[in-house]
Amino acid sequence: MTPLYYLDIIGTAAFAISGALVAMNKRLDPFGVFIIAFVTAAGGGTMRDILTGRLPVGWMQDINYMYAIIIATSIAIIFRKKLRFLSRTFFLFDTIGIGIFTIIGTEIGVKAGFHPVISIALGTMTACFGGVTRDILCNDIPIIFRKEIYAIACIVGAITFLVLQEFFENTYIIYIGTTLIVITVRLLAVAFKLSLPTFYSDNR
C-alpha cells in the first residue's frame, strides 16, 4: 500500500464527516445522513475514475473505502452533540478533504500521461464534485458556485503539486506541501473574507 492510498482513505473519511455534518444540520434521518456522507466521500473519486476509464470505480474494488465512510459517519453521528460548532467543524474536514483529493486526482492525471492543464482540472474535479453533489441533494447552491474561494484553492494546490514534483522526489514532501497549500489558501480566504466577484443581470 502506497502513501497515496492512505491519503485517499483519510480524504474519504474527512469528506464523509463533512457530508454527515451537513446532513445533520439539515435534520435528515440516519439513512439520509449516511447517503449524503457517501456521495460526498465517493462522488469525486467516482467521476474521476469514470473519466479516466478506471473501472470498476475505486470504492467498488476496495471495501476499505466503505469501511472508512461508515466509521467516519458513525463517529460524526455519535459525537454530534460535542460538535457544537458544526460550521467550523464542517469547514475543517471539508478543507482537509479537498486538499487530499486534489493531490490524488492530479497525480492520477499525471501518471495517465495527461497534459498538465488536464491533470489540474482532474484534480480540481476530484476534490469538488463530491461537495457539489452533497449541496445539490441538500438543496443548497454548491460552494464551488458561490463567492467562496474553493475551486481556486484546489487549482493552486494542483499547480503546487506539479511544481513540487519537478524539484522533489520525496512523495511525502510533495503530498504534505500540496495539502498545506490548499488548506492555507482556504483559511486565508476565510480569515480575510476574500471572495470572487459575483455577476448578476439587471433585467427583471
Residue range 115-146, pLDDT digits in tens: 999 999 999 999 999 999 999 999 998 888 87
| Domain-located, residue 7 | yes
Q: Has residue 191 got a pLDDT over 90?
A: no
pLDDT at 187: 86
Continuous H helices in the chain:
3-25, 30-52, 58-61, 63-78, 86-111, 116-137, 151-167, 171-191
156 contact partners, CB below 8 Å, separation of at least 6 = 181, 182, 185
Give the Cα separation of 63 and 119 in Å (integer): 27
Residue 74 in grid coordinates: 458513525
Asked, for residue 160, whether it belongs to a domain, the answer is yes
CA-based nearest residue to 91, from 180, 15, 6: 15
Any domain includes 204: no
Which candidate, 123, 127, 5, 14, places its Cα nearest to that of 62?
Answer: 5
Q: Is position 201 within any domain?
A: no
Task: Check residues 96 and 65 and name the one with the higher pLDDT.
Answer: 65
Mean pLDDT (the chain) is: 90
What residues make up the domain containing 56? 3-191
Instruction: Map grid coordinates 460524526 to a residue.
Output: 76
Where residue 40 falls among pLDDT bands split at 50, 70, 90?
Answer: very high
Asked whether residue 8 is assigned to any structural domain, the reply reads: yes
> What is the pTM (predicted TM-score) of this model?
0.89
Name residue 148's beta-bridge partners. 195
Given a contact cutoff of 8 angstroms between Cβ atoms, the answer to whether 171 and 3 are in contact is yes
Q: pLDDT tens-digit profile of 140-156?
A: 988 888 766 889 999 99
119 found inside a domain: yes
Our count of domains for the chain comes to: 1
C-alpha cell of residue 117: 492543464
Is 200 a member of any domain?
no
Q: 153 and 182 in contact (C-beta within 8 Å)?
A: yes
Q: How far is it, in rounded angstroms, from Cα 18 to Cα 90?
A: 5
Distance from C-alpha of 74 to C-alpha of 64, rounded to nearest angstrom:
15
Within a domain: residue 177?
A: yes
pLDDT tens digits along 105-116: 999 999 999 999
Residue 89 has pLDDT above 90, yes or no: no
Neighbours of 13 (CB within 10 A): 26
Region 69-78: what's the mean pLDDT? Answer: 94
